[in-house]
Amino acid sequence: MNIAAIGSIERLEELNFVLSLAGLSFTRFESTKNIINQKFDVIFDLNFDDRSHSISDYIGIQSETILFLSSVKIQLEAHIPSSLSNQVIGMNALPTFIKRDALECCVLNEKIDLSVVQMLGWAKTNLVKSRVGLVSPRVILMIINEAYFTLEEGTANRVDIDLGMKLGTAYPFGPFEWCDKIGINNVYESLVAIKNDSGDERYKICNSLKTDYLKFKQNAC
C-alpha cells in the first residue's frame, strides 16, 4: 500500500507505530504541494484542521485515494466539497490519540468502506458523528480545563491533581501530563473551537489555561 503523510513529528511517530503493526510505512511530506502529482492509496493529513483551507490542494487526486484528515477543531461538512465526500475519513489526530487500538473517526458518506482502518493497523474503528471535538477529545479536554480551575482555586497542585486522577480513574496520564503530551496549543485551540461551535458555557476556558497558551505562543515566536 502506497501511503503519504503530513504532520508533526509526534503525530507521525504515532502513525508509524500503528502502520508498522500492519507491516506498512509512509512517505513523509512537508506540505500538500507534491502529493497531488503522485499516486497514493492513502494520504494522512494530520495537521489538516489547523489549515483546513488546504482542502483545495486535494482537488483532482485519484478517485481511489482515501484521505484521512485531522478533524477535531473543525466539522468536515464545512470544509469538504461534495466531489471528495466519498474519499474523506475524519480522524482524531491529536497527539496520544493516534497510537491506540481503535481509531476514532467520522465520515461524510456512510458508504465508505472502513475496513481500510484495520488494514492500516488499528484493531477497530470507533465511528462517531462528524462534529467539532468529536467525542473523546471533548471529554479529555474538559478534564484538563477543570484541572486548571482546580489549580487556580488552590485546591491542589499539579502533581497531586495528576496523581489523584491516575489513581482514582486509572487514566494513563494525569490532566496536566496529558496536556503536555497533547500540546497546550492543541488543547486551547480545540476548546476554543468547541466553545465557538456549541456556544455551551461548559466549555468556558480557565484563565490559567489561556495564560499558559499565550506564554507558549510567545516562546514559539
Q: According to the model, what pLDDT value does residue 31 have?
A: 85
CA–CA dist 79, 54 (Å, integer): 9
Contact 41, 1 (CB under 8 A): yes
Q: Please state the rounded mean pLDDT for residues 37-41.
A: 88
Measure Cα distances from 194 to 102, 109, 184 in Å.
23, 23, 15
- pLDDT digits over 124-179, tens only? 999 999 999 999 999 999 999 999 999 999 889 999 999 998 888 888 899 999 99
What is residue 202's three-state secondary structure? helix
d(CA 199, CA 18): 35
Q: Domain ranges in the chain?
A: 3-127, 136-220
Instruction: Retrieve residue 195's grid coordinates.
Output: 466553545
Of 52, 58, 50, 53, the residue nearest 8 (C-alpha): 50
High-pLDDT (> 70) share of the chain, %: 100
> If pLDDT is split at 50, 70 and 90, which confidence band does 189 have?
very high
**H-state helical runs in 5-95:** 9-21
Banded pLDDT at 63 (limits 50, 70, 90): confident
Q: What is the spatial order of strands in the sheet that 42-45 belongs to?
A: 27-28, 3-6, 42-45, 66-70, 88-91, 102-107, 124-127
- Whether residue 32 is predicted with pLDDT greater than 90 in this model: the reply is no
29 beta partners = none
Q: Are 49 and 27 in contact (CB under 8 A)?
A: no
Of 40, 47, 46, the residue nearest 15 (C-alpha): 46
pTM above 0.85, yes or no: yes
Confidence of residue 36 (pLDDT cuts 50, 70, 90): confident
Read off the pLDDT of residues 67-79 as tens digits, 9 standing for 90 and up.
999 999 999 999 9
Percent of the chain past pLDDT 90, that is, above it, reads: 79
Q: What is the model's pLDDT at position 6?
A: 95
Q: Which residue has the cell 483532482?
A: 60
pLDDT higher than 90, residue 62: no
Q: Domain 136-220 has what CATH class?
A: mainly alpha
Tell me the three cell numbers of residue 177.
Answer: 501530563
CATH assignment of 3-127, among 3.40.50.2000, 3.40.50.720, 3.40.50.970, 3.40.50.9100: 3.40.50.720
Using CB atoms within 10 A of its CB, is residue 158 exposed (0-12), middle (13-18) or buried (19+)? middle
Quick check: 221 pLDDT over 80?
A: no
* Band (92; pLDDT cuts 50, 70, 90): very high
